[in-house]
Amino acid sequence: MDTRFAITNYHDAAAVTKQLDDLISQPIYTIKPEALKAYEEEYYGKKCVKSKEMIDEAKTVIPGGVQHNLAFNYPFPLVFTKADGMMLYDIDGNEYFDFLQAGGPTVLGSNPPEVREQVIDLLNTCGPSTGLFHEFEYKLAKKVVDSVPSVDMFRMLGSGTEACMAAIRVARLATKNKNVVKMGGAYHGWSDQLGYGIRVPGSKFTQSHGVPLYLYKHTQEFFPGDLDSLERVLRRNQFTGGTAAVFIEPIGPESGTRPIDYDFNKGVERLCRKYGALLVFDEVVTGFRIGMAGAQGYFGVSPDLTIFGKVIAGGYPGAGGIGGKK
């Protein structure tokens, strides 16, 4: 296992949470309307004319004008024509540092030539898809299995959302249990069953409009970082069909915006073993980013199933996968 990790000192979760609480208790200062207006006029009004024109057009055929939440922007989304390493360039020729990196998956930077050349070669020889098998599929699976300690087998899927859905099925089949438990506030894609308790811990079904309540009959949440809260749910589930899986974002819910203690994941693993549930590490954000061995390598935990997102294809869209023990 590659034991180099991108985290040198793990934070003190209680101290960070206190800082967050202190910050939230501060009064909210809004930007002065004149200052905002000047910025809108000076920057967006003068330098982003072509973006505005295109987004106005796009709004007539795309809801909101963009295809991904990350692309929303005030006063209007920008249109990007070039991405290179750490730089982005918009349609008006403005240059930006790319702190977003596609929301995570382009860990090598945007459009690295080593990856691009391989992709072009593949397109030249096979096109985008044959529906059959290519040697790269084996090579990728081998690389994942060799890198991530708990993964003996790896299956490619279309997205992180889809991989989480697959994990629920595998967990129910493997354990014969019914319930699925997740950390409040965590995001595991937008499938119906996992739309529970998203963004705000304790929010249950209230953030997922359009999902009938009965679909949450076997989904529960527990309070972030709170092992007692998890154990209460697991204990209760023993009388209502048992727990098939506990889903974890290993650095804390919502990409780690609510910090958790270093020992928390090990505690979750222990409880999963005690109550016969599979432990599912959702490494969409952490996989190959915290290190080649993922968050599980960093925390020294051996999940039963691991979820991967677009990082698996270096940021090329429509990719995800599930890995697990044989």
Ligand X SMILES: Cc1ncc(COP(=O)(O)O)c(C=O)c1O
Binding footprint of ligand X on the chain (CB under 6 A): 159-161, 164, 187-189, 249, 255, 282, 284-285, 309-310, 320
Question: Shortest approach of ligand X to residue 254 CB, angstroms?
Answer: 8
Cα atoms in the Cβ-side hemisphere of radius 13 Å centred on 298: 23
Question: Shortest approach of ligand X to residue 32 CB, angstroms?
Answer: 34
216 is catalytic: no
Q: Which lies closer to ligand X via its Cβ, residue 52 or residue 323?
A: 323
Question: Which one of the listed residues 44, 187, 216, 275 is annotated catalytic?
Answer: 187
Question: Shortest approach of ligand X to residue 169 CB, angstroms?
Answer: 16
261 is catalytic: no
Q: Which lies closer to ligand X via its Cβ, residue 189 or residue 315?
A: 189
Question: Which one of the listed residues 44, 216, 298, 310 is annotated catalytic?
Answer: 310
- Rounded to whole angstroms, the Cα distance separating 315 from 272 reads 32
Question: Shortest approach of ligand X to residue 124 CB, angstroms?
Answer: 27
187 is catalytic: yes
Question: Which one of the listed residues 44, 196, 275, 282 is annotated catalytic?
Answer: 282
CB 194 within 8 A of CB 166: no
Sign of the dihedral through C-alpha 119, 125, 127, 129: negative
Give the H or E element holding residue 313. Answer: none
Q: Which lies closer to ligand X via its Cβ, residue 189 or residue 267?
A: 189
Sign of the dihedral through C-alpha 199, 245, 216, 227: negative
Q: Which lies closer to ligand X via its Cβ, residue 188 or residue 258?
A: 188
Q: In this chain, which residue has its C-beta nearest to ligand X? A: 160
CB 259 within 8 A of CB 253: no
Secondary structure of residue 278 in the 3-state scheme: strand
What is the residue whose two structure tokens read 């006029």?
Answer: 41
304, amino acid identity: D
Active site residues: 187, 282, 310
